[in-house]
Structure 1
Amino acid sequence: MGAITVTNLGKAYKQYANRWARLAEWILPWVKAQSTLKWVLQDISFAIQPGEAVGIIGINGAGKSTLLKMITGTTQPTSGSVHITGRVAALLELGMGFHPDFTGRQNAMMAGQLLGLSGQEVEQLMPEIEAFAEIGDYIDLPVRVYSSGMQMRLAFSVATAKRPDVLIVDEALSVGDSYFQHKSFDRIRAFGQQGTTLLIVSHDKNSIQSICDRAILLDAGQLSMEGEPAAVMDYYNALLAKRGNVTVKQTTNADGKVQTISGTGEVTMEKVSICDEAGQAIEVVGVGQPIKLIVEILAHQDVPELVLGYVIKDRLGQAVFGTNTHHLDNKLERISAGSRMTYSFSFPANLGVGSYSISAALHTADTHISQNYEWRDLAAVFDVINVDKGYFVGVNWLPPIMECKR
């Protein structure tokens, strides 16, 4: 079984005023240092237990890829240490190590041996590698004629041909067609069920939330947050809009869920409720039952524009449905301080059995990135039960009209 322990890990690069300073430091090592250190990552510590799946997120430049390179040993850390147990398979830069003039088959042989497999093992696994990659006769053509998607298919197929103890995947899987992405994540999920330890970097929040047990947020080279994927994603989403006087805070509710609230505060939500048709607040909803989402709003300052949006999320924090008044062509303009508004959205709860939450946001334009007055995750929570519908599975109730002709 594989485990990863990262202790006080840091990476810095030397910066020189000019090329002569670099030369002086090299030939005159006893002279005062001619460089300064630019830290890309600093004081990163975490542990991943055998069989655990952990996702790493952060904006571009946060240090995610550098961290993975240090964990896999392709880049040496400036400080700290990494300890890994078990056989590791890593898929970092797309097709890293592939020689453009060698065929896909030859590159697969070399890549497999670099992963610690013997030549005989790679030979035995080659039919499976070819079948999973699905690149056909291109397997015997030079890699230089491959598209980026084909390189990714082959690289992933080789790296996962034999289940590793530890699988480390960078954002390479974001390249290529949707079919192969689904196929790849199905294999990753299967590995996780069989005990493989997974460390994955992805901008796809749904992938992180559906696969991972835990998430780590990197911000400006430091570990900003670690915890349940949904809570970390909510915090990350709030940070994307953090500018000027935007505040971001998190609180733990009575049920142990972490709620994220962010915004500038010019307009806020006083109450968010799930109600029945009569307007009475409810916490339990029947499949297909007509319900209302009611949001009560107070403007604390004059604002030029106001858009209200909401997202229904499942228990994993993945979006089931969302919209806002901008897309509904019903945004408000020139709101005065002290104004109170009550929005009501009516719809049938065509949802599967389970627990759901509402995230609501007050902002301008089409997203909260432009001007975030208030974003509130877990603004309302409700459960859906099946009272009078036939048996079905999934997060949506989509009753079909069936015909059968013989």
Structure 2
Amino acid sequence: MGSVAVNDVAKCYKYYTSKWHRAWEKLYPGKSEWHTKKWVLKEVSFGIGTGESVGIVGVNGAGKSTLLKLLTGTTQPTRGTIQVNDRVAALLELGMGFHSEFTGRQNVYMSGLMMGYNRGQMDELMPGIEQFADIGEYIDRPVRVYSSGMQMRLAFAVATASRPGILIIDEALSVGDSRFQAKCYARISDYKKQGTTLLLVSHSVGDIVRHCDRAIFLKGGTIGMDGSARDVTNRYLDELFGKPQFETAMKEGPAASSPSRTALSTANDGDVYHSRHGYRPEEYRWGQGGAEIIDYDIQVGGTHYPPTIDSGEPTEFYLKVRFDVGFDNVVPGILIKTLDGLFLYGSNSFLSSAGRENISAERGDVRIFRFSMPLNLNSGDYLLSFGISAGDPQGEMTPLDRRYDSIILHVSKGMEFWGVVDLKAKFHAVNEGGPSR
């Protein structure tokens, strides 16, 4: 039996334009309706197995928070059933359940009692909570003087004071500093190994991919996709940035041809990206338009599109872009990920040139951009993405064309190391105080 079973769940909220309409409807039921209905969730069904880690993504208003409130029992479904088969610990709205005038310690005890612990159990758990939260003397000060990060520290410490059967987190960790986030995720990882089921809602694609085996994409109150974390988060990115006419252009593009053995040329402006060696038809492509990435090249030691790249070899990545609109400033970018979607390295023209590059483009231009770097990676297969954006690289940029996970790279390493990225550590035996040789 799994941890969670959601069957045909729908949730509707009633909205009244006046408090008198609400009163009239209560006093005279069945006479007439004075409200409008908003269906936040519609016929949602899924199951979560014991020990499974599942992410939930979706744009604002998709129904994520409502779904979590249903799972924690703070609200009830209008239709359908929800079965939760284990003890739930939840971090939903930051500081929810904390009384601002009470001290952190008093709030810890109140929260623990609401979670089902007795006073004696809380006395035993309190030292561990205090140590994990690490807010010092603030534990005995009113919560109203806490920063959002301090509230999150205390809330997470309480929720995970003992291993829950199901842990639900809704964006709460996003307000913490990176050091404490790492501490939280280390505890989550430990609990997962012991069988805790994790349900994580986050706008951070990296967090979903890193910590979840599976993800659910909510769209307009229904399930738009349920699958692997990497595939679902890519679909979520599609929703954020749009996926316009590119799909049709790809299907109707020129027939595949053998890879070119010469450098890219600006003489032609046809989209032959999909005909190159290493291209993945499963790419995720989106953007607002105005420019298109139409070709690419990968070179190592004068060889184009090498089937395998030796780890550490200087590698050149070229992308060819056709501009259908003029822009004052465009920013090409590159991203390398693991097969399961973990971001390994990403850069753009502004970052890689230390802010010196300011690239403009005229309508009808065809431009070629290059990134070069040593691929200091372990043996394995990796995903390469290209992108072109417009705007201020230190402010807001508009994605024009992004071709995510569009190329697969094969990297070989004669003597493998632990992990993914080779940080080139050097070793020296130091005989301090010993005889010189």
Q: Which of the five TM-score ranges fits, normalised by the shorter chain?
A: 0.7 to 0.9
- Equivalences, count: 398
For 1:326 and 1:232, the matched residues in 2 are separated by 30
Give the secondary structure class of the aligned counterpart of 2:283. Answer: strand
* 1:272 is the counterpart of 2:296: yes
Where structure 1 has 5 or more consecutive residues not aligned to the other structure, the ranges are: none
How far, CA to CA, are the matches of 1:357 and 1:39 in structure 2?
39
Separation of aligned partners in 2, 1:107 and 1:371 = 44
Kept in 2, the 8 Å contact 1:11–1:42? The answer is yes
Q: 2:422 aligns with which of 381, 397, 406?
A: 397
TM-score normalised according to structure 2 size? 0.82
Deviation at 1:167, TM superposition (A): 0.7
Structure 1 residue 184: Cα displacement:
0.6
Query: Which residue does 2:404 correspond to in 1?
Result: 377
2:381 equivalent among 349, 355, 360: 355
Deviates more, 1:183-192 or 1:277-286: 277-286
Moved more, 325-334 or 16-25: 325-334
Alpha carbons 1:326, 1:365 under 8 Å: kept: no
CA distance in 2, matches of 1:121, 1:246: 60
Partner SS, residue 275 of structure 1 = strand
The answer as to whether partners of 1:241 and 1:371 remain within 8 angstroms in 2 is no
**2:233 match:** 233
Worse overlay, 74-83 or 362-371 = 362-371
2:98 aligns with: 98
Residue 154 of structure 1 pairs with residue 154 of structure 2: yes
Per the alignment, residue 331 of structure 1 pairs with: 359
Once the two structures are TM-superposed, the CA of residue 207 in structure 1 deviates from its matched residue by 1.5
Identity %, equivalent residues: 41
Structure 2 equivalent of residue 213 of structure 1: 213
**Secondary structure of the structure 2 residue equivalent to 1:100:** coil
Alpha-carbon distance change, 103 to 89 in structure 1, aligned in 2, over 3 angstroms: same
Alpha-carbon separation, structure 1, partners of 2:22 and 2:229: 44
Question: Which deviations, in whole Å up to 9, do the C-alpha atoms of 1:48-86 show, x marking residues without a partner?
Answer: 111100011122232211110111010122222211101
Contact 1:272–1:379 under 8 Å retained in 2 = no
Query: Which position in structure 2 is the counterpart of 1:291?
Result: 315
For 2:344, the equivalent position in structure 1 comes to 320
Gaps of 5+ in 2: 252-277, 433-437
Q: Which residue of 1 aligns with 2:262?
A: none
Gap change, CA 1:294 and 1:125, over 3 Å in 2: same
Write the distance in 1 (CA, Å) between the matches of 2:2 and 2:121. 21
Instruction: Quote the Cα distance in structure 2 between the aligned partners of 1:369 and 1:79.
Output: 42
**Separation in 2 of the partners of 1:26 and 1:75?**
20
Correspondence for 2:74: 74
Describe how 1:105-254 pairs up with structure 2 within 5 A.
105-242=105-242, 245=244
SS in 1 for 2:296: strand
The C-alpha deviation readout for 1:184-228, integer Å capped at 9, x for no partner, is 111011111111111011122222111100111223333222221
The residue type equivalent to 2:149 in the other structure is G
In structure 2, distance between residues paired with 1:12 and 1:247: 37
DSSP-derived class of the 1:396 partner: coil
Aligned to 1:86: 86
Note if 1:61 corresponds to 2:61: yes
On the 8 A contact 1:215/1:228 being kept in 2, the answer is yes
**CA gap 1:181/1:302 in 2 versus in 1, 3 angstroms:** closer
Q: CA deviation at 1:229?
A: 1.4
Return the offset for 1:247: 6.0
Distance 2:102 2:288 in 1: 56
Q: Provide the rounded CA distance (Å) in 1 between the counterparts of 2:280 and 2:45.
A: 24
Measured after TM superposition, the shift of residue 8 of structure 1 is 2.0
Indicate conservation of the 8 Å contact 1:312/1:322, yes or no: yes
Q: Distance in 2 between matches of 1:233 and 1:257?
A: 17
For the 8 Å contact 1:360–1:376, the answer to whether it is kept is yes
- Counterpart AA for 2:301: E
Aligned to 1:34: 34
Q: Which amino acid aligns with 2:384?
A: I
One-letter amino acid of the counterpart of residue 234, structure 1: N
- Structure 1 residue 132: deviation in Å? 1.0
Report the Cα offset of residue 296 of structure 1: 3.8
- Cα pair 1:356 1:383 within 8 Å, conserved: yes
